[in-house]
Chain A
């Protein structure tokens, strides 16, 4: 859809600018005039919401960095000083803290939406892969950010996650230990670790911003997918991005900020763990080391495997798997609306993700959510389904499933309504 530019400069200044640095043309082509399928629904507003989340995290983060002290003796108290003595410091910190949760909430919805409507299929493979890279970078950024307040959960989360790399000792003796020592900058999680995590936590959001630029670029070449998953056939199928989608995105963005504000102002610590208000203590291990809610499904997969190296491979493999989705799905039909079997498998995957999240929040030896079933077994079957969904069911279902008849064009069913 990135056809010839329809922009015509109308003033002397814009004509002058257009032959030197055509920024106005660029903005007009990518934001104002950009032809967008007319049938995008609510679930398509999360791209804009995510851009907002990134902006909020960067702006609040930069101001927090002006007051935060990345030193293992001072970090905890510097965060509390922000909460108590910096003007609106409590607001900045609670926005940043809950902003991470909002960011992940939005990204999970965005990813599941892409999965449901087949937005990863040709010609949008690179768009999807860039999204996966952004997701993984977000995980790294959020993890390192969680370490910075230097509470008990910060310290022990850092210890557990960096220790994952020691599993490589089982491949090459001493290799894993060497990697962890290198990551720590010492022989344990220490001041050096905190400092480098702070440095990288400041860097990575800008890397994400760059990747988001590429992601949007890759979106603008083939244009948006849509809930019907069929290609745009002509101008009758599209509307200009502005004002149609600017207003729609803005409306849902503001609704999203209502939810955001409820967390920030009414329940700012609900999504966090109380142990992180205890200063880090290398000599006292918390009863349960629990990551933030958005990592729980992956944490459950890791813990469900008794063999450390296999567990680590399963953990990283679960993210790497996402890269291959464009080629694992053998169906020619994009949207799950027209895929009677895949649709069900998709919803089972959603439930599977939630179940894995619950498993991750339980202690290792607990039973699953008020049932007598051990959580670890639910996590094992959940992990199995996750892998089976992508590596077995996705290729298979595409071959055997008989999709429903696709509509002739986007405009037709929209107008028929």
Chain B
């Protein structure tokens, strides 16, 4: 037992020493920890935050970032932002989806623009750029990642995306030079990020009267993006609670059966 404590102590000392050794320039800061409404086994998405986050995505992020995997019909499904079917259809119709060739075989209209049609619930969010090259050409060579599963595709998840979103506007430490065409963000690996600060105070005007601070907007859009990445989370956690409760009850009954069957053997 004493050796155990000895090892534990040595371990704690080493741990402390390792943590104290500070990070080299370019090493990302650990993401800020945010208390999300969707944390924990009973977590659910804050509906207001989802709707506001959808607004931030539409008015800000969608200028560069696609949301290829998300379909419009998801916007009115249970566990999502909770738009009514009519609202969802209006949102879909406000997007132009590539169409054509038409029944004459044309792919462009009389003025040479590609044919489009209004979106339907079955359509996915159309991308802001026609292809990767167009996206890079418009973004100083960098490719804005698709945001459909972005939260799941980054270590640190929602906290990380929030930290990137709200991590601008800080002064780089002395001796660290920000590369030309890049921006300083200490939460990004290497600290040089290609994305300029995406969100400022009042980047959007919330219709529900919420004050659009950077922090509020980042929280909202990250809630929306977490939903986009994991649209069935509420259903999953709800079902999971029932399943686990059932299994625990079932295992208790089995335990009693087990004791009963083995009673005479011990």
Contacts and interface: CB of A to CB of B under 8 A. Distances in A.
B130 interface: no
Interface in B14-68: 14-15, 17-19, 41, 68
Contact of A370 (B18, B231, B240): B18
A84 B229 CA distance: 9
B251 A265 contact: no
B154 interface: yes
A250 B236 contact: no
Nearest to A90: B232
A244 B250 contact: no
Contacts of A254: 247, 250-251, 254
A251 B251 contact: yes
A250 to B, nearest CB: 6
A38 interface: yes
Contact of A247 (B232, B241, B248, B254): B254
Nearest to A263: B240
Interface string A31-63: 000000010000000000000000000000000
Q: Which of A90, A262, A265 has the most CB of B within 10 A?
A: A265
A372 B11 CA distance: 11
Contact of B244 (A83, A244, A258): A258
Contact of B258 (A84, A248, A262, A287): A248
Interface stretch (B111-119, B145-153, B203-211): B145-153
Interface in B238-258: 239-241, 243-244, 247-248, 250-251, 254-255, 257-258
A153 to B, nearest CB: 11
Interface in B49-104: 68-71, 74
B5 interface: no
B266 interface: yes
Given A251-B251, A370-B18, A244 B262 contact: yes
A90 B71 contact: no
A83 B265 CA distance: 49
Contacts of A243: 261
B201 interface: no
Contact of A257 (B18, B155, B247, B257): B247
Nearest to A266: B41
B28 to A, nearest CB: 12
Contact of A277 (B15, B17, B153, B257): B153
B266 A417 contact: yes
B7 to A, nearest CB: 12
Given A254-B251, A265-B236, A370 B15 contact: yes
A150 to B, nearest CB: 13
Interface string B1-18: 000000000010011011
B148 A80 contact: yes
Given A80-B69, A258-B248, A251 B258 contact: yes
Nearest to A83: B232
Nearest to A255: B251
B247 A251 contact: no
A115 to B, nearest CB: 25
A258 B148 CA distance: 31
Given A84-B71, A265-B237, A239 B258 contact: no
A244 B261 contact: yes
Interface string B103-144: 000000000000000000000000000000000000000000
Consensus secondary structure, chain A interface: helix
Given A261-B244, A370-B18, A247 B153 contact: no
A77 B237 CA distance: 24
Contacts of B236: 90-91, 94, 265, 268
A265 B148 CA distance: 21
A170 interface: no
Nearest to B160: A274
Contacts of A287: 189
Nearest to B11: A370
B40 to A, nearest CB: 9
A247 B251 CA distance: 11
Central interface residue in B15, B148, B244, by most chain A CB within 10 Å: B244
Contacts of A262: 240, 244
A265 B244 contact: yes
Contacts of B11: 370
Nearest to A77: B69
Interface string A259-275: 00110111011000011
Nearest to B15: A370
A371 interface: yes
Contact of A239 (B68, B70, B265): B265
A278 interface: yes
A309 B158 CA distance: 42
Interface string A366-407: 010011100000000000000000000000000000000000
A32 to B, nearest CB: 14
A268 B239 CA distance: 14
A372 to B, nearest CB: 7
Interface in B208-240: 229, 231-232, 235-237, 239-240
Given A244-B265, A371-B18, A269 B254 contact: no
A247 B258 contact: yes
25 contacts: A80-B148, A80-B149, A84-B69, A84-B70, A85-B71, A244-B261, A247-B254, A247-B257, A250-B254, A251-B255, A257-B247, A258-B247, A261-B243, A261-B247, A262-B240, A262-B244, A265-B41, A265-B241, A277-B152, A277-B153, A278-B153, A370-B15, A370-B18, A371-B18, A414-B266
Closest 3 CB pairs of A and B: A265-B240, A277-B153, A251-B254
Given A83-B232, A90-B236, A258-B251, 12 more contacts: A81-B69, A84-B70, A94-B236, A247-B258, A254-B254, A266-B237, A274-B155, A277-B229, A278-B153, A370-B14, A372-B17, A414-B266
Interface of A: 38, 77, 80-81, 83-85, 90-91, 94, 239, 243-244, 247-248, 250-251, 254-255, 257-258, 261-262, 264-266, 268-269, 274-275, 277-278, 287, 367, 370-372, 414, 417
